[in-house]
Copies of this chain bind each other. A is one copy, B any other.
């Protein structure tokens, strides 16, 4: 069952208009995040990023945290996801416009939400990195949106194939490390963590933000910038982040081995991340849906 513009329905019954500019022109954005026992982690930051994107696209929609939480609770129940562990895509697109391709504000957006059961034990605990030959294309506007514009990622996915143990790593046109196909990329050298800066055209990942804002708590410095591939390949350890896979080590990138286990920084950050998730679950008592179990 999914949510479409205020109603809940079977996937097969869900329809939208081909005149939705989210379809015709890709004017749509989404957030992907994870529910832990029914609780959405870092939801405020996801909402913040979504609001910034909607403003940038001139899509008029007030994101209400309360409504989202209610929507998620209902979707968990309707989809019978008893343990409350799920992957969510909240998708907001421009909606129908009869004005054709002109500069405009979109005031009747299409709001969709899908929730899929997530088996944490099925998720990869580490990845091998492949440096992509296809380069990260430049963002469409002043910053990268998590938008319907996924062709660059699709070509990259095709280059590395569908092995879930492998992640492709984009370089920018001029060879700087950018991001993964579905992740942000980090590494440690000595006592400092490095990750590409947003001006490389990468997505402002929410888990990336968690690490940037918490690195000092594990006694490490953190720098963002434009780094050559060499820096990544000569690091002491490297890892990738996204909201569903969380923080997972690269065991290997190209011919460089980083060791089969999480390195010092990766482990410390994983612990910190898990602790925050526990706090969240504890605080929220596993959401209202538990009361109906």
Contacts and interface: CB of A to CB of B under 8 A. Distances in A.
Interface string A1-43: 0101000000100111111101111111000000000000000
Contacts of A153: 25, 101
A140 interface: yes
Nearest to A158: B103
Contacts of A145: 151
Nearest to A152: B140
A91 B149 contact: no
Nearest to A11: B19
A18 B14 contact: yes
Most chain B CB atoms below 10 A, which of A25, A26, A161, A182 = A26
Interface in A142-171: 145, 147-155, 157-158, 161-162
A93 B25 CA distance: 12
Contacts of A173: 138, 173
Contacts of A260: none
A75 interface: no
Contact of A140 (B25, B110, B112, B151): B151
Could you say which interface size class chain A belongs to? 35 or more
Given A15-B15, A112-B18, A162-B103, A148 B25 contact: yes
27 contacts: A14-B18, A15-B15, A15-B16, A16-B23, A22-B23, A23-B93, A24-B91, A24-B150, A25-B148, A25-B150, A25-B151, A26-B26, A27-B150, A57-B151, A58-B158, A101-B150, A101-B157, A102-B162, A103-B157, A103-B161, A103-B162, A134-B141, A135-B138, A137-B137, A138-B138, A145-B151, A149-B149
| Shortest beta-carbon contacts, A-B, top 9 | A140-B151, A15-B15, A25-B150, A26-B26, A140-B152, A103-B158, A137-B138, A26-B148, A102-B162
Given A141-B151, A141-B155, 19 more contacts: A15-B16, A16-B18, A18-B112, A20-B23, A22-B23, A23-B28, A24-B91, A25-B148, A25-B150, A26-B149, A57-B154, A58-B158, A101-B154, A103-B157, A135-B138, A138-B138, A140-B149, A140-B151, A149-B151
